[in-house]
Structure 1
Amino acid sequence: MPGRVDHPRRGRYFSVPAKYAVSIAIGIAWTAISVFLSLRWLDALSAVVGSFLALIIITFIAYVPGFMNAFLVSTILLDRRPRRRAPATYPSVSILVACYNEQAAIADTIRSLARQDYPGPMEILILDDGSVDETVARALETIGGLSLPGHSSIRVVAGFPNLGKSAALNRGLELCRHEIVLTIDGDSWVYADAVTHIVERYLADPPETRAVAGCVLARNSRKNWVTQMQEWDYFHGIAAVKRMQSMYHGTLVAQGAFSLYDKAALQAVGGWPECVGEDIVVSWALLERGYRIGYCEDAVAFTNVPDTLRQFARQRQRWSRGLLEAFKAHPRLLLKARMSTLFVWWNVFFLPLDLVYTFAFLPGLLLALLGMFYIAGPMTLLVLPLAILWNLVIFSVQRQMFKRQDLVVRRNVKGFLLYVFVYTMILQPVCVWGYASELFGLRKRWGTK
């Protein structure tokens, strides 16, 4: 790829496959210890529900999550990604902003893009998907008051019916002029150096890279308890998983809210498919062709997250359906001989994990309140040390990234406690609802991102 930067190795080089092997070994070791410590728990639960069901329950309450968390923590601790470096010439980029009924946020999104410090030409396309509010008028009014550098442009593409986000993005893909394409949601605030950083990461990553996911964080986290706990999910959970996956050359999702793509690669896979998880499915299409998806942890965009439980449930239901859509469209990824195949199988396990949590662990908590500790009890407390270590490691890594960006981690103790103790009680039953909706072919809704 033109403009890519080669980074010299400094000091002792610990290869990515070696780090992968170490992390696998640590995950297996932690799981082995968990199995040994849980034998009495397994015997007690077997006496109540039978040996097979007891093994399934404990496997997906303790063993599988324990392996995943141990692998993630060790990977983050071993991660020493090469620094970004400024190329001699920054390539031209096209930025696609798909929006539907975003009259309250589109002006801020446009202003944040106009304030980017990107040294190269930017073409910004505001792609209205048949909004019935004042989105187009607000966008035109905002653009009229802007002063863009001479090598950049911005325009609104409107007058089309509401056909869904993928249709709007594909329309933009046909109209855009440049070979590097960025997607940004219409209710986001893009940090001033975000476009520069994500392009530098793309140019510095291995040559088979065809997409880079940006770091998306919650913008409206102060609104209520629903957004407060999501702030930690974006800051800790989602960011950590993407960082882990990118280290092994396989970030699974370049999310539509803020990501970079190679235009030719997008066109080769047919653009964004018409489905509820268009960003997941197009990402897996790229991975199936052998391409790599990277992650730029310091290319930051703040987006509005759902602020009611109903909106949150609809969003996560859509994400769960999108995951099943990706498996149906690209099942061959399960057999790819590459390190990131582990994460595809990781997603396979989400279904039984969510099912066991919803139909076994949550009822087990209620039983524990009545003094019956068959499922949730003293043995389940063994996962706390790893959970504490996981959160400490991720918080330290993310705080350092914020510091380099001149950002400060907001004090949000209430949100953190909700994230640790309540979040999964809401999230995983919602995911089960999403899986069921997809498996039974229920009507799909695109209304919540």
Structure 2
Amino acid sequence: MNMLESLNAFNFTIFILFLLLYLYQIIYAGVVLCGRKKPTPEAKQMHRYGVIIAARNEATVIRELLQSIKAQNYPDGLVTAFVVADNCTDNTAELAQAEGAVVYERFNQLKVGKGYALDYAFKHIMKEYPEDWFEAYFVFDADNLLDPNYIREMNKVFDSGYEIITSYRNSKNYDSNWISAGYSLWFLRESKYLNQARMMCGSSCAISGTGFMISNQIVKANNGWKHHLLTEDIEFSVDSVLHGLKIGYCGDAVLYDEQPCTFEQSWKQRLRWSKGFYQVFGKYGQALVKRIFKEHDFSSYDMTMTIAPALFVSLFSVLINSLALLWTLFVQRDPEVLSVTLGAIIASVTNYYLILYAFGILTTVTEWDNIHCSAGKKILYTFTFPIFIFTYVPIAIEALFKKIEWSPITHTIAKSIQEIRD
């Protein structure tokens, strides 16, 4: 077998490996499209909730979130908003207090990150309120906005017995550019074709950054918030699955958040996410694999697929193809072989592009009415979506070797729910 045949065989093997590893996600799509979503029964009780918002210099957007919380179709006396003004140098705390939130100011330059801010809030609440005053807590980022029925819909799922629940994640600025649309389409797909499918199949869902609920019992058991890796959301999801907890999903509870618009900002954020996924895999990967084989737990397999193989297999594929190309360019120096080698690499990239495009167009079509931008942009961004995902490859490579610390993302888009829908 010559080098070209070996490269073709390698790329085909990697492609088939990806299909086998992620075949279940294709099945998930079929479940959502062909299955019947069971309506969530009305809640028997209106439960009491605390709302935790970690905010660092979020004066531009904090008021809109708090106003959307106050505008909820839910009894006012059963919802209390808490804002952790975390190392703020602006007037976030003052603005939050003016909107009626309970504000805790935190100044700690050593323990930096959302996880520490959440723990700070939970510790204060456990000291200042009766033990079971709040039955559960919502966790939001300061740039979020809530649909008026958000808490009412989440309350239905909580009342049905779930102790951890995530929600439908939409975006405030889908139409900003191809970068914000790339994020937005990914989160819409995650909500519709991962978490909804998981819920329909009885598997555990996964927390994605913001817009989730956690019961007071779990907060007490963890003595606050104990997850402090760079991606505390996926760490929490994995840890919950390992403890046999099932995360629920409420597709009728709609949250909007702001996506980065510049490539520099996006690179910085996704670099942290990539490093965080490596951290989670390093800390929990072995336990997940053991649970897969010992407990035959599909949720553990799902979480393993979420945090590890795609990045590592992609990086290995890029490395082998790059080495083959360099060999052809500088050692073999055969124009014909070079042409065929490039053709093999292009064919491999095209296959991945088409798979990603298929998921992008499927999500766009089914979520068309929930995407708030022009029809032309909706169509255009299905083509740029795979390119956005491809940019994860160099980011993942850098994350392998670079030391990364948590840093805030600046939010600048202050909109109301009405402005988004208009």
TM-score normalized by the length of structure 1: 0.74
Question: What letter matches 1:444 in structure 2?
Answer: E
Deviations 1:145-200 (A, max 9, x none): xxxxxxxxx32222543542112111222334402111000111111111111221
Question: What letter matches 1:264 in structure 2?
Answer: Q
Structure-1 separation of matches of 2:389 and 2:61? 29
Note the 1:221-232 alignment, pairs <5 A: 221-232=174-185
218-227 vs 187-196, which deviates more? 218-227
The equivalent residue for 1:146 is none
Deviations 1:46-103 (A, max 9, x none): 621674x655433333541464353333333344332122213211111101111111
Question: What letter matches 2:314 in structure 1?
Answer: D
Structure-2 separation of matches of 1:321 and 1:410? 35
Deviations 1:245-265 (A, max 9, x none): 334444453234110111221
Note the 1:183-202 alignment, pairs <5 A: 183-202=139-158
How many angstroms does 1:228 deviate by?
Answer: 2.9
Q: Closer, same or farther in 2 for the Cα pair 1:249/1:378, shift >3 Å?
A: same
How many angstroms does 1:312 deviate by?
Answer: 1.0
2:298 to 307, 324, 339: 339
Q: Is the 8 A contact 2:151 2:253 kept in 1?
A: yes
The equivalent residue for 2:363 is 394
1:168 to 117, 140, 147: 117
244-253 vs 174-183, which deviates more? 244-253
248-257 vs 181-190, which deviates more? 248-257
**SS in structure 2 at match of 1:83:** coil
Q: State the Cα RMSD in Å.
A: 3.2
Say if 2:53 is the partner of 1:92.
no
2:214 to 252, 255, 261: 261
Note the 1:390-429 alignment, pairs <5 A: 390-399=359-368, 402=370, 410-411=374-375, 412=377, 413-420=379-386, 422-429=387-394
**SS in structure 1 at match of 2:345:** coil
The equivalent residue for 1:354 is 314
Is there any run of 5+ residues in structure 2 with no aligned partner, and where?
Answer: 126-132, 329-336, 411-422
Note the 1:52-201 alignment, pairs <5 A: 55-65=9-19, 67-68=22-23, 70-119=26-75, 121-143=78-100, 154-162=101-109, 163-176=112-125, 177-201=133-157
**SS in structure 2 at match of 1:321:** helix
Task: Indicate the percent of aligned positions where both proteins have the same amino acid.
Answer: 17
Structure-2 separation of matches of 1:352 and 1:188? 32
The equivalent residue for 1:318 is 272
Q: Closer, same or farther in 2 for the Cα pair 1:272/1:364, shift >3 Å?
A: farther
Q: Closer, same or farther in 2 for the Cα pair 1:434/1:343, shift >3 Å?
A: same
**SS in structure 1 at match of 2:170:** strand
Structure-1 separation of matches of 2:340 and 2:399? 33
1:307 to 261, 269, 272: 261
How many angstroms does 1:436 deviate by?
Answer: 3.6
Deviations 1:100-122 (A, max 9, x none): 11111111111111111124710
Structure-2 separation of matches of 1:301 and 1:393? 21
Higher relative contact order structure (alpha carbons within 8 Å, sequence separation ≥ 6): 2
Q: Is the 8 A contact 2:58 2:142 kept in 1?
A: yes
Q: Closer, same or farther in 2 for the Cα pair 1:218/1:169, shift >3 Å?
A: same
Question: What letter matches 1:185 in structure 2?
Answer: D
**SS in structure 1 at match of 2:405:** coil
The equivalent residue for 1:434 is 399
Structure-2 separation of matches of 1:318 and 1:250? 28
Question: What letter matches 2:396 in structure 1?
Answer: C
Q: Closer, same or farther in 2 for the Cα pair 1:303/1:343, shift >3 Å?
A: same
Note the 1:210-289 alignment, pairs <5 A: 210-237=163-190, 239-251=192-204, 253-270=206-223, 271-289=225-243
Structure-1 separation of matches of 2:177 and 2:32? 31
Q: Closer, same or farther in 2 for the Cα pair 1:273/1:247, shift >3 Å?
A: same
How many angstroms does 1:225 deviate by?
Answer: 3.2
Q: Closer, same or farther in 2 for the Cα pair 1:194/1:409, shift >3 Å?
A: farther
How many angstroms does 1:130 deviate by?
Answer: 1.6
Question: What letter matches 2:367 in structure 1?
Answer: Q
**SS in structure 2 at match of 1:124:** strand
**SS in structure 1 at match of 2:273:** helix
165-174 vs 285-294, which deviates more? 165-174
How many angstroms does 1:417 deviate by?
Answer: 1.8
Q: Is the 8 A contact 2:275 2:404 kept in 1?
A: no
Question: What letter matches 1:431 in structure 2?
Answer: A
Q: Is the 8 A contact 1:364 1:373 kept in 2?
A: no
How many residues are matched?
380
Structure-2 separation of matches of 1:433 and 1:238? 28
How many angstroms does 1:433 deviate by?
Answer: 2.4
Structure-2 separation of matches of 1:360 and 1:298? 45
Q: Closer, same or farther in 2 for the Cα pair 1:416/1:197, shift >3 Å?
A: same
How many angstroms does 1:370 deviate by?
Answer: 5.4
**SS in structure 1 at match of 2:121:** helix
**SS in structure 1 at match of 2:164:** strand
Is there any run of 5+ residues in structure 1 with no aligned partner, and where?
Answer: 1-45, 144-153
Structure-1 separation of matches of 2:351 and 2:14? 14
366-375 vs 318-327, which deviates more? 366-375
How many angstroms does 1:395 deviate by?
Answer: 3.6
Question: What letter matches 1:135 in structure 2?
Answer: T
Structure-1 separation of matches of 2:349 and 2:282? 34
